[in-house]
Each structure stands twice: as C-alpha cells, then as structure tokens.
Amino acid sequence: MDTSKKPLNIGIIGFGPFSQFLTKTMIKQGHVVRATSRSDYSAHLGANFFRDMEEFMGLEHDVIMICTSILSVSEVVKSIPFHCLKKPTLFADVLSVKEHPRQILLQEVPEDSDVVCTHPMFGPESGKNGWNGLNFMYERVRVRDEDLCSSFLNIFESEGCKMIEMSCEEHDRLAAQSQFVTHTIGRILSEMQITNTAIDTKGFEKLVQVKENTANDSMDLYSGLFIHNRFAKQQMENLESALERVKGSLEARMKKEDGHK
C-alpha cells in the first residue's frame, strides 16, 4: 500500500486563522483533524476541538502541528504535557520564522518523537484558489520515521505545492529579504492609506495587492517576523537607508536644476 495516501490523525495546537485554513484541505484529503487552542473553538465545524490539553495530548496522534503565533510558541511548547503522549509522534511546526521554533522543538520534544520544521509560503489570501505552484519550505530536523514524515509532506505535495528542502537558517536569511520586506512595504502602504484610483498603472495595482495581502495578517505575526528572525533587523536598516539615498538623490537633482535657472 502507498503509505503516503494513508489518512493521518493530525493534532493541531493553535487553532487560529492559518491552521483553520489548512484544516479545510486536510479534511478534504480524508485526514482526521483534532485541535486545541488558548481560545475556545468548540463551535467550529470540521475539526474536533479539545479545550483540555491533557485530554488532547492523550489522543492517538500521528502528527502534532504547532500553529501558534511566533511570539507565543516558546510559552506554548513549554506548557505541552508531553507525558500524556500515547506513542512517538511527528511534531511539525508551520511558523513563518524557522530557527526559533527549531531550537524550541529540539529542546522540548521528547527524544523518541520526530521533528520537521516547515513553512507553507502562502496564506488564506494567496492560497484561496488552491495551493498548486505555491512554495512549501521544510527541514527534516530529526526524522527517523521517514514514511510518516513523507505522508505528512504529501499533504502539501499532492496539492501541487513546490516542495523546497532547506535549512531553517537559510530560510530565515531569505525570508528576511523577501517576506519581511514585503510585509513591511505592505504595512507602510497601509499607513499611507493607498487605494485604487481611476487611472491605476499595472505597477500600482500590484502595490495595492501587496497592501491587501498583508493587511489581514495579525500584528503578532508581523512582529514575530521581526523579533524572531535575526536577519530582519538588517533588512529594516537597509530599507531605511535605501529610502534616505533615494530621497537624497532627488533632492540633489532638484538643487542642480534650481541652479540652472
């Protein structure tokens, strides 16, 4: 039997907007999803929700996905009652920074359980029409049960994601100059309250899209991208100094033009 097609028992810790979005596809694929979270989502359709963390951890899980905010992951993982686990389990996180959860999971997850760190490079907005062609980054951090890990990764591969195996360090280096800069520009555009006009260029339409794609993400998520990615500070400084240089060159040109008058 092709083990990658076997339905998985998937436990989710942190049932916010992103994991609810992932849950829809996992259920569609036939997996069993059970979730727990700080807030009460018992009324949510689809996944079975458990308020009690010990009861949740005592279920038969193949995979436990950590889907909490970046800012809370340390506190949340440290509070997991691992002693309630029925069997060795694959722990997979989906946080948008990677070195930080990698370090926490290696420190906290029992030695007989495996760890894979992942980052689906899309969200409820960019993935609303399916995941085909969207990037999915992962690092097999501590994997002994290769079949189980492959079955988990197959959730994304079978939807057409472009699977990219990469170290968490490399991810954070690249994401600081791509995702973090995109979010920052989106937030700046939002502060400027830019909106579509009757005479939009294609370029401007794309800028409005950048603003809208980032507007729905929480401030917790954006702050996490900055605070827990050691490469982000440098990118923020690069942005500031680039704006100063661009402004400086315009001012110098204006002075020169004024001098010709």
For the chain, what is the radius of gyration of the CA atoms?
Answer: 21
Look at the block and give the residue holding tokens 């402004």.
247
In the bound state with ligand NAP, the residue whose beta carbon lies nearer, of 8 and 70, is 70
Residue 26 lies near ligand NAP (rule: CB under 6 A): no
Neighbours of 202 (CB within 10 A): 6
Tokens found for residue 188: 């700046």
Residue selected from 8, 33, 57, 76 as contacting ligand NAP according to rule CB under 6 A: 76
In the bound state with ligand NAP, the residue whose beta carbon lies nearer, of 6 and 72, is 72
CA distance 56 to 185: 40
Residue selected from 15, 49, 131, 152 as contacting ligand NAP according to rule CB under 6 A: 15
Residue 37 lies near ligand NAP (rule: CB under 6 A): yes
Helix (H) or strand (E) holding 32: strand 32-36
Residue selected from 69, 151, 154, 214 as contacting ligand NAP according to rule CB under 6 A: 69
Of 59, 19, 61, residue with least CA distance to 37:
19
Residue 217 lies near ligand NAP (rule: CB under 6 A): yes
Question: From start to end of 54-197, where are the E strands?
Answer: 63-66, 90-93, 114-120, 135-142, 162-165
Q: Which residue is nearest to ligand NAP (CB)?
A: 123
Residue 218 lies near ligand NAP (rule: CB under 6 A): yes
Residue 70 lies near ligand NAP (rule: CB under 6 A): yes
CA distance 71 to 90: 22
Question: From start to end of 38-127, where are the E strands?
Answer: 48-49, 63-66, 90-93, 114-120
Residue 123 lies near ligand NAP (rule: CB under 6 A): yes
In the bound state with ligand NAP, the residue whose beta carbon lies nearer, of 126 and 196, is 126
Judged by CB under 6 A, how many residues of this single chain contact ligand NAP? Answer: 23
Q: Are 235 and 177 in contact (CB under 8 A)?
A: yes
Closest approach of ligand NAP to the CB of residue 244, in Å: 30
> Segment near ligand NAP (CB under 6 A), from 61-69, 155-163, 172-180, 248-256?
61-69
Interface residues with ligand NAP (CB under 6 A) are 14-18, 37-39, 67-70, 72, 76, 94-96, 120, 123, 217-218, 220-221
